[in-house]
């Protein structure tokens, strides 16, 4: 199968993001850029599918030169080739704009290779803005089917059979190819790179696609503008209890909860 | 803000097991605020195999008109069928905004709707304020450490609302108009096919409305230890919550998850056990009335927001707390 995986580079989500003091600008200085966790799950699922049925896994991302490291990370854990889509005119593109850029990139890559993608994988959402939109918008832009929140996938005669996680269980959904899927957290973890795979990834070239290749893409913002960026009010820390005997700590806490009329 | 002739606000009220989901009904509240400035009506769209219970519930949550679309196509949770119904209704009523719950289905429908029509779209809104006639939505980013206010500069637009962020509207005396809409979904609209729907989690967990939540995290160590969290919740008459690591370890079902990919909660009392306080978890419990945290690491971030922070071993602290509360209840 010809598989495309769309990934996004995001700031490490285990680090708390704040504003630059006295400004409305988000301060990402010193926070490591990583591949969005859900995109790493999507890539792992795609690579497993390829390993089962054969084919090629291509990774694509949107961003500046610094985003190439995200693609290299993907090449080290199973992707066969990677592309960066980059153009000054993409700055400030919103979700729908990004979906259109990805759609144009997919079409371009298909034209160049002569092999249409059977399936396009995305993470269910990115950990930075958590909108969960791009996969669905990409499917709509391409006019193909979408199955969201996958935890498993297999190839069938008709296309693919997806296991979609729901709040109380799962749905088994069949879709013909081509289609777009978004991936939630499967039962397995993404593989780790080896020193060898990392070195090999570092040596691979990552072609950059610009408007020159992709043609004009309508990436104007759609209908919303930001009027204020702020941090939510902070909660103050209360008292810390640390008695030598844990039983005393527990009792002290209970007494405080009783005094606060919580019990 | 110019609403033109698109003044109605269409809310897709998602249903689960024949009942509207909380955030679907809460969507009606934000729709009301919008309808007041647009001068239109709040249209509640329900699509299901049997809408009888859902229509009744939506009627008491402030819809002006209920569009009830019933049919077997909506039985098994196929997103394509719901999207088709939404498209048909939006095509018929020309709403100025389409609102849904910030659930996977709500996200999918608003994403597809905005892509198909080239519209603006806000996701996971936690607040809506009307300022000089303009709706100002507040949306979180970076796990909730940053908030952004955004305003639409064109209609129509789409939005999803976070569960628990908006109160359900109080019952209005006015009876809504109930319209049975006939929508038959053509095969050409169905890209995908639901083969099977499996229910694995039988328990109904209502974290959003819980007064007391006792939650456990990685620090509980194993499934046997996690039982202490369940016992403490039981003696307090509370609901069990859990962090992502506790759920991924299989100690409790994902219906209990509190955090960015789970639920946002605001109980009167929240007790976190063996939870260090990842950003996404902390943001989701921030509006709790009173937070008690038990953790052996005295630098755990959860202590920064806890009213009471107990530094110690959960395996020693929790049994004493459980016994003390039992004693007080008996006395």
- Report pLDDT digits (tens) over B140-185: 999 999 999 999 989 999 999 998 888 877 666 678 999 999 999 9
Closest CA to A146 of A162, A170, A167: A162
Q: Which CATH architecture has domain B9-189?
A: 3-Layer(aba) Sandwich (3.40)
**Nearest-angstrom CA–CA distance, B317 and B272:** 12
Is B189 near chain A, with CB under 8 Å? no
Global ipTM? 0.95
Residue A178 scores a pLDDT above 90: yes
Closest CA to B265 of B283, B246, B247: B283
Is B177 near chain A, with CB under 8 Å? no
- Interface contact A169-B312, CB threshold 8 A: no
Is A254 near chain B, with CB under 8 Å? yes
pLDDT of B169? 75
State mean pLDDT over A40-57. 98
Residue A254 scores a pLDDT above 80: yes
pLDDT tens by residue, B205-229:
889 889 999 999 999 999 999 999 9
What are the CB-based long-range contacts (under 8 Å, 24+) for B130-138? Answer: B130/B33, B130/B36, B130/B37, B133/B1, B133/B37, B134/B1, B134/B37, B135/B1, B135/B33, B135/B34, B135/B37, B136/A227
Which residues of B, range 98-127, sit inside 8 Å of A by Cβ?
103-104, 107-108, 110-112, 114-116, 118-124
Is A172 near chain B, with CB under 8 Å? yes
Tell me the two tokens of residue B96: 């100025």
pLDDT of A218? 84
pLDDT of A91? 85
- Interface contact A140-B115, CB threshold 8 A: yes
User: Domains, chain A, ranges and CATH?
Assistant: 2-214 (3.40.50.620)
Query: Does this chain's domain B9-189 share its CATH topology with B212-330?
Result: yes
State mean pLDDT over A124-142. 96
Mean pLDDT by runs of 10 across the 331 residues of chain B is 95 94 93 96 97 94 95 93 98 98 96 96 96 96 96 95 83 84 96 95 89 98 98 97 94 92 90 96 94 97 97 97 94 80
**Angle between helical axes of B52-59 and B22-38 (0-180°, round to 10):** 50
Residue A220 scores a pLDDT above 80: no
Closest CA to A181 of A196, A209, A202, A160: A160
In CATH terms, the fold of domain B212-330 is Rossmann fold (3.40.50)
Of B150, B254, B255, the CB nearest to A227: B150
Tell me the two tokens of residue B116: 């198909």
**How far apart, in Å, do the first and last CA atoms of chain B sit?**
61
pTM score, whole prediction = 0.95
Q: Where are the domains of chain B?
A: 9-189, 212-330
State mean pLDDT over A220-240. 90
**Nearest-angstrom CA–CA distance, B167 and B209:** 11
pLDDT of B313? 97
Cα separation values, A99 from A21, A144, B104, B156, B326, Å: 33, 13, 18, 20, 56
The residue that leads in pLDDT, A218 or A245, is: A245
pLDDT of B62? 85
């Amino acid at each position: 199968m010809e598989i495309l995986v769309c990934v996004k580079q995001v700031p490490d989500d285990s680090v708390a993001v704040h504003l630059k003091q006295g400004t409305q600008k988000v301060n990402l200085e010193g926070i490591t850029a990583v591949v969005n966790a859900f995109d790493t799950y999507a890539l792992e699922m795609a690579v497993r599918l390829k390993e089962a049925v054969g084919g090629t896994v291509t990774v694509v991302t949107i961003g500046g030169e610094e985003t190439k490291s995200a693609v290299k990370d993907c090449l080290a854990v199973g992707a066969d080739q990677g592309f960066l889509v980059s153009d000054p005119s993409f700055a400030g593109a919103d979700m729908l704009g990004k979906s259109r850029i990805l759609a144009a990139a997919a079409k371009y890559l298909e034209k160049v290779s002569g092999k249409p993608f059977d399936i396009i994988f995305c993470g269910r959402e990115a950990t930075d803005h958590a909108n969960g939109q791009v996969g669905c918008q990409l499917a709509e832009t391409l006019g193909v089917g979408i199955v969201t929140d996958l935890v498993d996938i297999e190839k069938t005669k008709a296309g693919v059979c997806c296991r979609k996680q729901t709040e109380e269980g799962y749905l088994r959904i069949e879709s013909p190819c081509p289609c777009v899927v978004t991936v939630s957290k499967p039962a397995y973890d993404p593989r780790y790179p080896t020193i060898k795979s990392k070195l090999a990834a570092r040596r691979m070239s990552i072609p950059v696609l610009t408007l020159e290749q992709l043609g004009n893409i309508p990436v104007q913002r759609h209908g919303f503008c930001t009027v204020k960026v702020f941090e939510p009010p902070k909660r103050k820390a209360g008292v810390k209890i640390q008695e030598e005997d844990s039983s005393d700590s527990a009792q002290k806490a209970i007494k405080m909860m009783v005094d606060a009329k919580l019990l | 803000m110019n609403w033109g002739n698109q003044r109605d606000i269409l809310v897709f009220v998602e249903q689960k097991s024949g009942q509207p989901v909380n955030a679907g009904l809460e969507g009606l509240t934000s729709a009301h605020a919008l309808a007041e400035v647009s001068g239109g009506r709040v249209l509640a769209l329900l699509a299901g195999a049997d809408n009888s219970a859902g229509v009744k519930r939506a009627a008491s949550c402030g819809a002006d008109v209920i569009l009830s679309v019933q049919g077997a196509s909506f039985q098994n949770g196929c997103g394509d069928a719901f999207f088709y119904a939404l498209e048909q209704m939006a095509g018929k009523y020309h709403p100025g905004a389409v609102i849904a719950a910030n659930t996977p289905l709500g996200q999918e429908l608003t994403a597809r709707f905005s892509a198909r029509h080239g519209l603006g779209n806000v996701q996971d809104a936690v607040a809506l304020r009307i300022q000089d006639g303009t709706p100002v939505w507040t949306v979180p980013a970076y796990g909730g450490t940053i908030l952004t206010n955004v305003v639409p500069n064109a209609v129509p637009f789409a939005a999803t609302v976070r569960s628990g962020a908006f109160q359900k509207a109080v019952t209005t005396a006015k009876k809504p108009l109930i319209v049975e809409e006939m929508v038959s979904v053509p095969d050409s609209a169905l890209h995908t096919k639901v083969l099977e729907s499996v229910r694995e989690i039988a328990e109904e967990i209502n974290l959003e409305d819980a007064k007391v939540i006792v939650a456990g995290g990685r620090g509980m160590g194993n499934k046997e230890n996690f039982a202490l969290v369940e016992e403490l919740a039981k003696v307090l008459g509370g609901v069990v919550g859990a962090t992502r690591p506790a759920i991924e370890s299989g100690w409790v079902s994902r219906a209990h998850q509190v955090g960015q990919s789970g639920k946002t909660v605001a109980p009167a009392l929240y007790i976190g056990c063996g939870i260090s306080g990842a950003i996404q978890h902390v943001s989701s419990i921030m509006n709790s009335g009173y937070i008690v945290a038990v953790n052996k690491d005295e630098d755990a971030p959860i202590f920064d927001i806890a009213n009471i922070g107990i530094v110690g071993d959960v395996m020693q602290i929790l049994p004493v707390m459980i016994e003390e509360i039992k004693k007080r209840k008996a006395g």
